Structure 1
């Protein structure tokens, strides 16, 4: 028998029994410590739910509190993220003499200073006060925490001025002072340099008054992590930010393994000294200035696993860095991110030498050429991203050798050629493939069985058709499938609808797919199912889809019959429903009243009846687009019961009546398009209260009366169309106050934000109705008041609309001259002032409108020479000026007689003559000439001697007289030439009629 073993077991049992007995006798924490915790909690008991558990005698069982198993003393307090709010911290915690761990992070302490007494915890080895809104100076008393190993003060509004106390924390391993403002940085650096054990220093988002460039002796022998992300430097004297060079001492910390410099304000990053950091494993330099390039010394980093240069402007050709990525770096590098770095040139073959590379991201650059065969030599590559470049060659079949590849993204390039089965031969682990927006032809056999099982597949714009790809039957785990615009012209087979049971996103839009879609197809269980089958030739009734459908787009197909009456009840998760451009008839089902936060788009169909009455429901619609149908009645009052409605488009229906005042509660309305209906009455003044409006169209209705000046309160308005009504009165001068029309497009900060609403809007421009998508629509600025009965002058204030693109005042009764400053509207592309009663000369400033490509001034009373030069020389079509009898110029083949600078024609407001009045006008002209001659002779006879006498004695009068005679001569000469020109034109017409 092994007596020694028995003795050891007995002693072990007795020790365990003693410990249990001792702990049982000390099960409760000391009364003084329990009372200290309660006193601490009383300052916060109204704000934090955690303190409700602080009941009973044993505080060791309280939430966030831990005690020593042997003594029962409180040693650990963790209140991180407990919702504590207060403006003081009770020093009663100082009674916890054995406290070694204190975490008050992620709470709210109302910008109070860090209590100085925290430095009195003699056994504290962990202190975190991060993100708790402390303010002021970091107390030097923290230097008394001689056992501290972790200090986290990040995420506060603190200033570190005197850092000498840091040198006393000789056991410190981890320090995080992110977001601090650090004064006297050299003092701070020297203090940290005296800590022999420190392993990681985090200074992300810190602001320095300067950054020390020299350090006589580098003592960071244990430092493995340095985080200087988002660091910046402040010049107090000039109250501005400055830059700083990376210090040389940084590259003498040979123990450094992780260096984070992303988004920092350092210059000359990656100097040649980087090659000294031979222990470096991770180097992050996202969004920094790398115009100097990548030094060749990078090849010395034999331990470097990850290099991230995302969004750093390298501005070089990638193949020039062959030396930088040679040496032992070829074997160590595992992740290389060069996305958004302005790289150009071809993808070099040396990338194939990076033997252990698992992630390569070259996306969002200007790379060109082909996908090279050398990439097939990357045996461990898992992710390849070349999307959004200018690649215009072919794809090498060698990609099919990458048996570790899980993600391949070649989207948004100009790649060409055929992808055969050899391109996918050994891609057994491929999970995500995106070939979208290329000109690739996927040519595989009908019975091909892919080696992979994809989760995500995007092939928009590639050629898959004309047959529906049968190999999709093998893909059992597809979550996302996008085959839009792939040239498929076929019936969708039944197996497809029965197989895709895992899908959460499906897009087959813009193909030539046919067939009837079955009801209630089984898709994935995700709560926001997206289905886009738009722009095909699907027919039959509108099917019901699964209840978890969030977005359904069936627009531009051939669906017919009514909308299912229970469609909104069966699919309560709708975020967007688009049935536009089909052959759907009937009415809008009442179940729409049960929807929540949705977009309903059912334009260009055959719907009729009145809009549903949802007055007893809460229907928070965001977008309602029912244009180009046959709806009648008025606008229901419930639409704005909840003011979330942003877009209301009821264009081209048969709606009538006055605009209901309930619309004025639609305070979020961005687009209101009621054009092409039969609304009557005056335009209500309360429209000026819809301050969010960007587009207002009331065209082609029966509105009467004057335009309310209150519309000028809509300062964000970019499109105002009141054309084709019965409006009268003058154009409000205050229309010159539309801020979004006054701003040139390149500075326009009020462009429409249409979010996920991508439906087109119809605009009538140049006499033609076109659809404008959300991107173009956000850049349009239009003022259209045409085809009304507006009178008076064109307000000069309208020329302040410097950002206006479309300006149409045609077919009104406007009079007077065109404002001379119209040439200041430099963005104008379309100007139509035709069919008014405008008179005077055509402003020469129109020549300044370099973007103008449409001009119509026809059927007015303009006179004089048609301006020439610059843009006006392009408008030579006589139709532009027809109906203005007294215009002349080469554009209408009418020569301008007399002085080239003078215009001939009627005075302002005078009508043009007809041939039946020629004889009367001729007699009138002769009498006027004779009368003028008699008056001149009589005046000369009477005044000659009177004036001559004064001239002989008054020198000043003589000077004035001769100047007057010169001006009178010029005036008489011009008058005679004008009248004789008229007479000549009249006689010419008489001869034409007689002939």
Structure 2
């Protein structure tokens, strides 16, 4: 279905917005406070030309409302919309895309009538200061694929979920982000989200989750999952076995087509354990395709595992703020795709292997606040162009932090680094 863009870009399309839908949008405007005049174009007969309104160029029905605050944050600006969402939205029976993110609704409830917008596929209410309980009526949105409720920070009047069963009825979901939403009273969250066969991205950051199950029910189906972010929860003490089961499913599907596993974010989930316990879970297909591994701030002990060097496609490794000790294994120097390496705030000792000079994609390397010693030279950092006029660097390191270490000898040429 083609879409008529707003404003003058609409051209001379013969399709014009429906009168009842134009009236519905005007009622919506009447309930909103718009101090910056973002809705000033909402006048005249053709609502398909109004800012933020998109219509089908075949039927003229309103299919998209893009009312996202254009500022990076609702704090400190006057571009936000506030006020009350009018039930006149129900007149937009063909509305498939609704974005109200980054506006200010001051702790108001998400309207229950939202569950009657049955054509919705995309719903973005992130950082819009809605509060109270996410209504179960959203479970009636049979076509919904992309719901986003996340908060960047914990709000003064947070959203909560008291029952997650409604989400499992939406088998069409491919993306779900409830970050900073309180899920502590939502029942078995994992039992519900694992019933979503098309789910590709799942972000449950800082949701006050207290555990991860060791196994999943037989009905679990996460074969489409590519991104899982469980940051800032207390989920210990071990990485659960079902992550390994997901990797087996991915490996099975890879026989039919390449299936990536780009991200595993477990930052600050408090695993009071030895890092070696992750070996079995990060095996098989995961070991071949993982791109981001974030285990920062988890009080992990032991040494940096040699097997991390087998994560062939790893681009970003975060092990900072743990209790890791021993040597940095030379095997990390075989991570040919690695761009970001964070090992700071541990108890690592010894010298840095010259194998790190092989990291042709390295951009940022942070090893500060350790107990390292030895010689650091251009062999380790051949991306840095200021060593000599005749030296041709092999890659593009931009930042290195070596502060608060116990470096014994640093060759004088390092003094030229800015």
* TM-score normalised over the length of structure 2: 0.76
> In 1, are the aligned partners of 2:205 and 2:229 still within 8 Å (CA)?
yes
Match status 1:43 vs 2:45: no
Separation (CA, whole Å) in 2 of partners of 1:102 and 1:109: 15
Bigger RCO of structures 1 and 2 (CA < 8 A, at least 6 apart) = 2
> In 1, are the aligned partners of 2:365 and 2:399 still within 8 Å (CA)?
no
Residue 252 (structure 1) aligned to one of 245, 249, 258: 245
Which residue of the partner structure matches residue 123 of structure 2?
127
Greater percentage in strand: 1
> In 2, are the aligned partners of 1:311 and 1:339 still within 8 Å (CA)?
yes
Separation (CA, whole Å) in 1 of partners of 2:138 and 2:233: 24
Separation (CA, whole Å) in 1 of partners of 2:238 and 2:54: 47
Separation (CA, whole Å) in 1 of partners of 2:161 and 2:248: 26
Report the RMSD for the aligned CA atoms in angstroms. 3.6
Which residue of the partner structure matches residue 202 of structure 2?
201
Once the two structures are superposed, residues 108-135 of structure 1 have per-residue CA deviations (whole angstroms, 9 ceiling, x without a partner) of 2232222111111221111122222222
Which residue of the partner structure matches residue 393 of structure 2?
427
Match status 1:224 vs 2:222: no
Which residue of the partner structure matches residue 341 of structure 1?
322
Match runs of 1:694-733 below 5 Å: none
> In 1, are the aligned partners of 2:63 and 2:95 still within 8 Å (CA)?
yes
Segments of 5+ residues of structure 1 without an aligned counterpart are 1-22, 234-242, 258-277, 409-419, 445-457, 460-471, 473-479, 482-995
SS at match of 1:340: coil
Match runs of 1:969-988 below 5 Å: none
Separation (CA, whole Å) in 1 of partners of 2:291 and 2:370: 25
SS at match of 2:293: strand
> In 2, are the aligned partners of 1:255 and 1:279 still within 8 Å (CA)?
no
The structure with the largest alpha-carbon Rg is 1
Which residue of the partner structure matches residue 292 of structure 1?
274
Which residue of the partner structure matches residue 49 of structure 2?
61
1:69 deviates by 0.7
Once the two structures are superposed, residues 643-683 of structure 1 have per-residue CA deviations (whole angstroms, 9 ceiling, x without a partner) of xxxxxxxxxxxxxxxxxxxxxxxxxxxxxxxxxxxxxxxxx
Match status 1:103 vs 2:103: no
1:247 deviates by 4.3
1:172 deviates by 1.7
Match runs of 1:502-901 below 5 Å: none
Separation (CA, whole Å) in 1 of partners of 2:205 and 2:249: 17
Which residue of the partner structure matches residue 170 of structure 1?
171
> In 1, are the aligned partners of 2:120 and 2:144 still within 8 Å (CA)?
yes
Match runs of 1:181-580 below 5 Å: 181-182=182-183, 185-208=186-209, 212-217=213-218, 218-232=220-234, 247-254=240-247, 280-287=261-268, 288-295=270-277, 296-297=279-280, 298=282, 300=284, 301-318=287-304, 321-322=305-306, 324-325=307-308, 328-329=310-311, 331-395=312-376, 398-399=379-380, 402=382, 405-406=383-384, 425-427=391-393, 432=398, 459=415, 481=418
Separation (CA, whole Å) in 1 of partners of 2:294 and 2:212: 24
In 2 relative to 1, CA 253–32 (structure 1 residues): closer, same or farther, beyond 3 Å?
same
SS at match of 1:49: coil
> In 1, are the aligned partners of 2:116 and 2:141 still within 8 Å (CA)?
yes
In 2 relative to 1, CA 383–133 (structure 1 residues): closer, same or farther, beyond 3 Å?
closer
Separation (CA, whole Å) in 1 of partners of 2:403 and 2:211: 48
SS at match of 1:93: helix
Separation (CA, whole Å) in 1 of partners of 2:264 and 2:52: 37
Which residue of the partner structure matches residue 91 of structure 1?
87
> In 2, are the aligned partners of 1:384 and 1:407 still within 8 Å (CA)?
no
Once the two structures are superposed, residues 609-663 of structure 1 have per-residue CA deviations (whole angstroms, 9 ceiling, x without a partner) of xxxxxxxxxxxxxxxxxxxxxxxxxxxxxxxxxxxxxxxxxxxxxxxxxxxxxxx
1:341 deviates by 3.0
SS at match of 2:21: helix
Separation (CA, whole Å) in 1 of partners of 2:352 and 2:209: 45
In 2 relative to 1, CA 30–169 (structure 1 residues): closer, same or farther, beyond 3 Å?
same
Once the two structures are superposed, residues 500-552 of structure 1 have per-residue CA deviations (whole angstroms, 9 ceiling, x without a partner) of xxxxxxxxxxxxxxxxxxxxxxxxxxxxxxxxxxxxxxxxxxxxxxxxxxxxx
Separation (CA, whole Å) in 1 of partners of 2:210 and 2:357: 50
> In 1, are the aligned partners of 2:110 and 2:130 still within 8 Å (CA)?
yes
Once the two structures are superposed, residues 410-442 of structure 1 have per-residue CA deviations (whole angstroms, 9 ceiling, x without a partner) of xxxxxxxxxx979x9443656657688967575
> In 2, are the aligned partners of 1:372 and 1:396 still within 8 Å (CA)?
no
1:77 deviates by 0.6
1:63 deviates by 0.8
Once the two structures are superposed, residues 846-894 of structure 1 have per-residue CA deviations (whole angstroms, 9 ceiling, x without a partner) of xxxxxxxxxxxxxxxxxxxxxxxxxxxxxxxxxxxxxxxxxxxxxxxxx
> In 1, are the aligned partners of 2:32 and 2:85 still within 8 Å (CA)?
no
> In 2, are the aligned partners of 1:124 and 1:147 still within 8 Å (CA)?
yes
Which residue of the partner structure matches residue 743 of structure 1?
none
> In 2, are the aligned partners of 1:185 and 1:212 still within 8 Å (CA)?
no
Match status 1:148 vs 2:124: no
> In 1, are the aligned partners of 2:292 and 2:317 still within 8 Å (CA)?
yes
1:207 deviates by 2.4
Q: How many residues align?
A: 377
Once the two structures are superposed, residues 369-406 of structure 1 have per-residue CA deviations (whole angstroms, 9 ceiling, x without a partner) of 33434434545545444444333322366437x4xx25
> In 2, are the aligned partners of 1:104 and 1:128 still within 8 Å (CA)?
yes
Separation (CA, whole Å) in 1 of partners of 2:349 and 2:162: 52
> In 2, are the aligned partners of 1:299 and 1:325 still within 8 Å (CA)?
no
In 2 relative to 1, CA 158–387 (structure 1 residues): closer, same or farther, beyond 3 Å?
closer
Separation (CA, whole Å) in 2 of partners of 1:192 and 1:160: 13
Separation (CA, whole Å) in 1 of partners of 2:212 and 2:342: 33
> In 1, are the aligned partners of 2:341 and 2:364 still within 8 Å (CA)?
yes
Which residue of the partner structure matches residue 74 of structure 2?
none
1:211 deviates by 5.5
1:214 deviates by 4.5
